[in-house]
């Protein structure tokens, strides 16, 4: 320390002050910035298709992203859980965390995505462009090109690896200081022999003790899945916006969204244009209707903040925001209201779940419904077998569904309206393919368009089934291949008809294919369960006349019996990547149920294609929709 006393008079005040500045400069340390401030100072976002604007990093539009990102530098936090809907900024803060880990506070890290291919895709499209666009990151790239790939980047003091969360083997081996997890619910779950991939990933950081860090960013799906489970382990913070009128700090919730009464045309019909124009968020305290500008101002208010709503486990911090906080056009309150009503017009329970998951960032509670024969009686309507439905119902299409067996072909015939309303027309066992031709010819008169879809998985008749569908492909025939759970509800692929069939070698050109639906059977069995339980009121059955014969009564009883053969129960043994529940067959006599699964899946994909074509052809906000379900 320099003395302020100068007994010999050798130094005047200017000389003393100059010496002080010299010493302070010699021992000056660079200011330690919070990760969000570091990103604002040093990083710029490259142009391209992304949810954030190119240019300097700025948290002004989404201030709720700052605190979760800053958790990376908080020594009291080992696990940061950020939960929200799509396009809210989840991947953005992961990218910022990667940039900070490369150059701000270098550390070894692992990025875990749903699959390694998805992770590499993120690397190519989002992480590498960020690195190339910013000199502070680019200058740290390894000189050896073999140390810089889509899945592995060896920066100085910051080895960075990208792996898939669908394989326990993929996350084994590497020891890292930080983990960045993207979309946890798509990772493999726990099994009898091994913990979930998320827990295995946490073991990769144990060598770093108190410096270890796990950043989990995900959209939730079901309550019992890993995303919401991890969120509950934290302190469950929600962003409190400030009302522009009364100053109340409040979390934005869907229940406070209202629109004009005149937007409702009838009990079930809504004018979506009017809904979009009049929808407003209302303050919890003063009931002030906010314009969208007021909503954004409330979110960005200087006093807006996170508030913990629970006591989390030591080291765990969790944040949640929903779609009402987003700055994009799709986050406009009117657009969200339209999305809510639209999700209820398709007739599919999964679309309602998608609204709460993808738009509101909330999990879905998967309740198991009690299904009995009495449920069928409640869904019977006054029309007879062989008819399209009750008087006045005009179907848009007819679907014949079949399930190939060794000596017969069980089939079900249904009519559908694009609204999702559907009626059982007929069911039975066809002896030959010609019989199915006759059934299609007889019932195609009931609707303008008819389709036929059938299972191709029966091994002893697979080649035969493929060839028969191929010969009728111009009459709307599809193949179906079911798996318990797939990443997409329905995926359309091409199946090579003659590979392994009788005509292989003579017809090998690429035109000899059929359209095959790859179906997530668990999801559509749940859809059928919801229809039988009455949760979705659009799936109906014919009513037998009082003078019905014994054979007619027995045939209806057999149809109901096969539909009730499966029931859903909690899975006894956890299986990686599978739902917590499973469908179990009592007698293996469930062919009509399988038929209904195939038909419902085909209708789902046809409905989605039609809705897309409609949106491309006319403004979506000029629609009038009819909501027929609860």
Q: What is the mean pLDDT of residues 249-270?
A: 92
Residue 566 in tokens: 């499966």
pTM of the model: 0.78
Q: Which element (helix H / strand E) includes 319?
A: strand 316-320
CATH ID of 35-236+310-321, from 3.40.50.300, 3.40.50.10860, 3.20.20.70, 3.10.105.10: 3.40.50.300
CATH fold group of domain 373-618: Nucleotidyltransferase; domain 5 (3.30.420)
Cα 127-130-134 angle, rounded to 5 deg: 145
From the list 319, 400, 394, 288, the residue with the least C-alpha distance to 68 is 319
* Rounded distance between C-alpha atoms, residue 294 and residue 150, angstroms: 43
pLDDT in tens, 18-34: 666 655 554 444 467 99
* Rounded distance between C-alpha atoms, residue 193 and residue 570, angstroms: 18
pLDDT in tens, 172-229: 777 999 999 999 988 887 766 677 889 999 999 999 988 999 999 999 998 888 999 9
Burial class for 144, CB neighbours closer than 10 Å (0-12, 13-18, 19+):
exposed
Question: Quick check: 142 and 153 in contact, CB under 8 A?
Answer: yes
How does strand 79-83 pair with strand 213-218?
parallel
Instruction: Tell me the pLDDT band of 625, cut-offs 50, 70 and 90.
Output: low
Assess whether pLDDT exceeds 80 at residue 301. yes
* Rounded distance between C-alpha atoms, residue 455 and residue 462, angstroms: 9
Assess whether pLDDT exceeds 60 at residue 571. yes
From the list 526, 429, 519, 513, the residue with the least C-alpha distance to 477 is 513
How does strand 158-164 pair with strand 257-258?
unpaired
| Domain edges within the chain | 1-30, 35-236+310-321, 254-306+329-365, 373-618
% of the chain residues with pLDDT over 70: 88
3-class SS string, 469-533: HHHCHHHCEEEEEEECCCCCCEEEEEEECCCCCCCCCCCCCCCCEEEEEEEEHHHHHHHHHHHHH
From the list 383, 439, 379, the residue with the least C-alpha distance to 410 is 439
pLDDT in tens, 376-406: 889 999 999 999 999 999 999 999 999 999 9
C-alpha dihedral, 265 to 271 to 276 to 280, nearest 10°: 10
Task: Please state which of the ranges 48-62, 269-283, 424-438, 499-513 shows the lowest mean pLDDT.
Answer: 499-513
């Amino acid at each position: 320390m320099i003395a302020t006393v100068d007994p010999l008079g050798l130094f005047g005040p200017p000389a003393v002050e100059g010496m002080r500045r010299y010493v302070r400069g010699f021992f000056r340390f660079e200011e330690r910035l919070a990760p969000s401030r570091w990103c604002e100072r040093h990083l710029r976002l490259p142009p391209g298709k992304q949810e954030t604007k190119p240019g300097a990093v700025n948290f002004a539009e989404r201030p709720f992203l700052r605190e979760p990102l800053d958790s990376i530098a908080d020594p009291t936090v080992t696990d940061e859980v950020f939960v929200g809907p799509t396009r809210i900024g989840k991947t953005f803060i992961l990218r910022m965390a990667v940039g900070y880990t490369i150059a701000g506070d270098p550390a070894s890290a692992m990025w875990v995505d749903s699959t390694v291919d998805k992770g590499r895709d993120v690397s190519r499209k989002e992480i590498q462009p960020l690195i190339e666009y910013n000199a502070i990151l680019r200058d740290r790239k390894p000189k050896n090109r073999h140390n810089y790939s889509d899945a592995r980047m060896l920066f100085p003091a910051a080895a960075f690896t990208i792996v898939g969360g669908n394989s326990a083997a993929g996350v084994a081996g590497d020891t890292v200081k930080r983990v960045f997890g993207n979309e946890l619910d798509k990772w493999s779950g726990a099994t009898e022999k091994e913990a979930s991939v998320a827990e295995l990933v946490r073991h990769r950081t144990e060598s770093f003790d108190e410096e270890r860090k796990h950043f989990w960013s995900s959209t939730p799906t079901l309550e019992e899945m890993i995303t919401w489970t991890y969120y509950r382990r934290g302190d469950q913070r929600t962003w409190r916006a400030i009302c522009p009128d009364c100053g109340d700090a409040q979390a934005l919730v869907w229940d406070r969204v209202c629109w004009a009464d005149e937007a409702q045309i009838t009990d079930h019909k809504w004018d979506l244009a009017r809904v979009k124009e009049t929808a407003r968020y209302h303050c919890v305290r003063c009931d002030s209707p906010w314009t969208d500008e007021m909503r954004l101002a409330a979110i960005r208010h200087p006093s807006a903040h996170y508030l913990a709503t629970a006591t989390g486990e030591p080291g765990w911090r969790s944040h949640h925001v929903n779609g009402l906080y987003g700055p994009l056009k799709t986050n406009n309150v009117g657009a969200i209201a339209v999305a809510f009503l639209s999700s209820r017009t398709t007739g599919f329970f999964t679309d309602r779940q998608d609204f709460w998951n993808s738009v509101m960032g909330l999990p879905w509670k998967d309740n198991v419904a009690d299904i009995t024969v009495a449920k069928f009686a409640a869904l019977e309507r006054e029309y007879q077998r062989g008819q399209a439905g009750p008087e006045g119902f005009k179907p848009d299409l007819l679907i014949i569904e079949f399930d190939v067996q060794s000596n017969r072909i069980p089939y079900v015939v249904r009519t559908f309206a694009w609204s999702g309303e559907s009626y059982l027309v007929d069911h039975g066992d066809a002896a030959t393919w010609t019989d199915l031709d006759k059934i299609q010819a007889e019932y195609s008169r009931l609707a303008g368009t008819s389709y036929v879809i059938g299972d191709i998985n029966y091994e002893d008749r697979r080649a035969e089934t493929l060839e028969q569908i191929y010969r009728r492909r111009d009459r709307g025939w599809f193949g179906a291949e079911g798996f318990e759970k797939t990443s997409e509800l329905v995926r359309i692929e091409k199946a090579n008809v003659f590979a392994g069939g009788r005509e292989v070698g003579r017809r090998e050109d690429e035109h000899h294919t059929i359209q095959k639906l790859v179906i997530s059977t668990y999801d559509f069995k749940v859809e059928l369960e919801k229809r039988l339980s009455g949760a979705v009121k659009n799936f109906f059955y014919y009513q037998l006349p009082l003078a019905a014969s014994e054979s007619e009564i027995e045939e209806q009883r057999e149809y109901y019996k096969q539909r009730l053969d499966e029931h859903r129960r909690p899975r006894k043994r956890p299986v990686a990547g599978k739902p917590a529940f499973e469908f179990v067959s009592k007698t293996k006599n469930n062919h009509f149920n399988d038929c209904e699964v195939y038909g419902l899946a085909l209708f789902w994909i046809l409905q989605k294609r039609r809705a897309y074509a409609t949106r491309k052809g006319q403004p979506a906000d000029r629609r009038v929709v009819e909501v027929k379900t609860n």
